Structure 1
Amino acid sequence: MSHAPVLTPPGLRHVCDLYVELDPIMEMGPGQAGQRRIIPIIGGRAEGPEINGEILNLGADWQTIWANGVAELEARYVIKTTDGALIEIRNYGYRHGPAEVLAAVARGDDVDPASYYMRTTAQLETGDPRYDWVNKTLFSGTGARLAGQVVISLFAVE
């Protein structure tokens, strides 16, 4: 009888923090899966040990708010690194928490990110050979929604 190998949990390596600037929410109304909305991404920056640069005014977060209050987040945008590479980010995740906390987040109040759940998985892609490692790495993030901005700490899954 063969034994399965002992597998260890993956580690996380901090890659950068994303400060994503947003335009006001565009409410689309109810869709088949829930309340639909689009939040334009108009800029920002990436700062960290492995990726630094500006987030371009090119992208959006397409959200669906489910009947149970969970926000399904699906964002796509671009970082132009300080050394000139373009890195596309496709970020998918969930945000949920107590109704009163989410109402405060929606108003733009200063809310402790530990009081609600905001996690993402991300795929990064580039044609620049200096950053080829992003094409073959999985990423996970933890986030916070602020007034006019989303902040995400992005980690490589090792």
Structure 2
Amino acid sequence: MPRQVDNDVHSAFMEFRAGQNEKCLSVQCIYCQQVRAKNTTRQKQHLLQCSAYLHAHPDVAIQASAATVTSAPPAPPAPSVPSAVPVPALPAAPPAHDVVAHASSHEDIAGEHSALSFMPNPRINGSPSQGRPSLGGGEGTPAPKRQKTMKPTPGSNTPEIPLADVHAAFVEFRANDDDKCMSARCLYCNQIRAKNTSRQREHLLSCPGYQAMLKDKIPAASPRHQFDDDDVASSLAIPAPGLELDFRMSIRVKPKLNVGAGTTGRQSWVSCIGGQWAGRFGKGVLLPGGQDMQTTVKDTATRIDARYLMQTGDEHPALIICTVKGWLNGDRDVMERLQDPVAADNVTAHRYQLRATIELETGDERYAAINTGTWLASGCRRGAEIVYDAYRIS
């Protein structure tokens, strides 16, 4: 896949500061080693005339050569490469088009492009409006720069790599005291490369160590027993749900009535005589008549199955059916003390677990949004009251 517009330009130059007192950055072309002031427009123009770059990117050479056929106003040629600066040898690119075959050598390509103007090129320059700006504005005014976005690897479910993760994955250092440019070492595979954010991000997409760490972050890959590697479920990155405190509900209850042993355990009946609730979407009271059918399956676990009727505090109140299902777990002595309303006040909520799911249902259009929500609740027992904090699952 072709890289993004700015990636070709920025990755082709290495930035540095010529002197400690210099306020402006300089850049050096990694293809021909030419040094110039940092200027994205001039850097784009240089690449269109850099024989080493065009030889390494035949697709750009094809588009640039085709543009020479059309009539374009000539522009002053870019400064030539100093003869004292060596040009690194590059492997010959296989001819993929007749135009490339026509300009097969470095000299031919350089000759054809020595008098090129700053032409719009879809790979380097983007749209024509991103060309050289004119003094009078108008059509030559550059368009706003595109926002750089990181896309996942093609054909992969690997999530995008944030910029902070890229920087955290590399240690920057200077190989020699005389080096002007920084180097970076990957913390996952110890590979050393020149400091370049785009190249570092590309490296992480194929780094075995980083990919293994990324896979460990996927919840499906964390359990002891995992999916097979060739199963699509083993590599899917599914968003984790969030919890947001939505409302608190306080329920006043009558003393528990023991119904007796049932098919699944000892059953008890707990009646609601009132209460109140308040939260993000409103506040109101609990009407008397709600019931909690509790089933004790063993001395340390009791199942909760309750239905209450909530009423809003509006001038024309709405009625909301509240369904609570969950478990009360704790040590045997703690569970016994919770049965006594007086002794329950002396048991901290951290000594046991009262966890439940809550669903709300109403026919009032003003509160229709709650019909599709699910809440996770944490509760405690205080005297003749049961208090729940309900967290909406996002």
Interval of TM-score (by shorter of Structure 1 and Structure 2): over 0.9
For the 8 Å contact 1:55–1:80, the answer to whether it is kept is yes
Which residue pairs with 1:40 in the alignment? Answer: 271
Structure 1: which amino acid aligns with 2:393?
A: V
For the 8 Å contact 2:300–2:331, the answer to whether it is kept is no
| CA distance in structure 1 between the aligned counterparts of 2:324 and 2:335, rounded to whole angstroms | 20
Which residue pairs with 1:75 in the alignment? Answer: 306
Compute the displacement of 1:133 (Å): 0.9
Structure 2: which amino acid aligns with 1:27?
A: N
Deviation readout 1:116-141 (Å, 9 max, x if unpaired): 01100011000111111110011110
| CA distance in structure 2 between the aligned counterparts of 1:117 and 1:9, rounded to whole angstroms | 23
Over the aligned positions, Cα root-mean-square deviation in angstroms equals 1.4
Which residue pairs with 1:145 in the alignment? Answer: 381
More displaced 10-residue stretch of structure 1: 131-140 or 63-72: 63-72
Runs of 5+ consecutive residues of structure 2 not aligned to the other structure: 1-154, 158-234
Structure 2: which amino acid aligns with 1:89?
A: C
Aligned to 1:97, which of 305, 308, 330? 330
More displaced 10-residue stretch of structure 1: 28-37 or 65-74: 65-74
Indicate yes or no: 2:355 matched with 1:119.
yes
Please give the secondary structure, in 1, of the residue aligned with 2:290: strand
Please give the secondary structure, in 1, of the residue aligned with 2:298: coil
Compute the displacement of 1:105 (Å): 1.4
For the 8 Å contact 1:15–1:51, the answer to whether it is kept is no
Deviation readout 1:22-76 (Å, 9 max, x if unpaired): 0111110100100001100110000223231000002100010002531100000
Task: Give the aligned length.
Answer: 158
Aligned to 1:23, which of 254, 264, 274? 254
Please give the secondary structure, in 1, of the residue aligned with 2:369: helix
| CA distance in structure 1 between the aligned counterparts of 2:379 and 2:321, rounded to whole angstroms | 18
More displaced 10-residue stretch of structure 1: 131-140 or 3-12: 3-12
Q: Which has the larger radius of gyration?
A: 2
Structure 2: which amino acid aligns with 1:95?
A: L
Which residue pairs with 1:135 in the alignment? Answer: 371
More displaced 10-residue stretch of structure 1: 2-11 or 145-154: 2-11
Please give the secondary structure, in 2, of the residue aligned with 1:47: strand
Question: Structure 1's 103 and 30: CA in aligned 2 closer, same or farther, altered over 3 A?
Answer: same
Higher strand share: 1
TM-score scaled by length of structure 1: 0.94
Please give the secondary structure, in 2, of the residue aligned with 1:8: coil
Please give the secondary structure, in 1, of the residue aligned with 2:264: coil
| CA distance in structure 2 between the aligned counterparts of 1:47 and 1:112, rounded to whole angstroms | 23
Which residue pairs with 2:296 in the alignment? Answer: 65
Compute the displacement of 1:100 (Å): 1.6
Please give the secondary structure, in 2, of the residue aligned with 1:73: strand
Indicate yes or no: 2:321 matched with 1:88.
yes
Runs of 5+ consecutive residues of structure 1 not aligned to the other structure: none
Compute the displacement of 1:115 (Å): 1.1
| CA distance in structure 2 between the aligned counterparts of 1:73 and 1:11, rounded to whole angstroms | 24
For the 8 Å contact 1:21–1:41, the answer to whether it is kept is yes
| CA distance in structure 2 between the aligned counterparts of 1:56 and 1:71, rounded to whole angstroms | 25
Which residue pairs with 1:12 in the alignment? Answer: 243
For the 8 Å contact 2:272–2:289, the answer to whether it is kept is yes
For the 8 Å contact 2:299–2:335, the answer to whether it is kept is no
Q: What's the % identity of the aligned pairs?
A: 28
| CA distance in structure 2 between the aligned counterparts of 1:100 and 1:67, rounded to whole angstroms | 13
For the 8 Å contact 1:18–1:152, the answer to whether it is kept is yes
| CA distance in structure 2 between the aligned counterparts of 1:5 and 1:130, rounded to whole angstroms | 38
